Structure 1
Amino acid sequence: MKTRLNCPCGEHIEGTDEDDLIAKTQAHLKEKHPGHEYTPDEILFIAY
């Protein structure tokens, strides 16, 4: 299960499970990178 992701902006995002990681990553994108949206599959592809 992938629960961590490093955004190219330098922010480290960590979730309790994949669904939590996806939600936190999408919230980060909405707040810090408006207009940049990724699907759950794209998020999990770059997660570890």
Structure 2
Amino acid sequence: MKTRLNCPCGVAIKGTDEDDLIEQTQAHLAENHPGHDYTPDEILFIAY
């Protein structure tokens, strides 16, 4: 199960599970990188 992701901006995102990681990543993108939307599959591809 992938629960961590490092955004290229330097922010480390950690979720309790994959669904939480996706939710937190999408919230980070919406707040800090408007217009950069990624699908759950794309998020999990770069997560570890």
Class of the TM-score when normalised by the shorter of the 2 chains: over 0.9
TM-score in terms of structure 2 length: 1.00
- Size of the aligned set, in residue pairs, is 48
Gaps of 5+ in 1: none
Once the two structures are superposed, residues 13-33 of structure 1 have per-residue CA deviations (whole angstroms, 9 ceiling, x without a partner) of 000000000000000000000
Gaps of 5+ in 2: none
Structure 1: distance between partners of 2:14 and 2:37: 18
Aligned to 2:43: 43
TM-score in terms of structure 1 length: 1.00
Q: CA RMSD in A?
A: 0.1
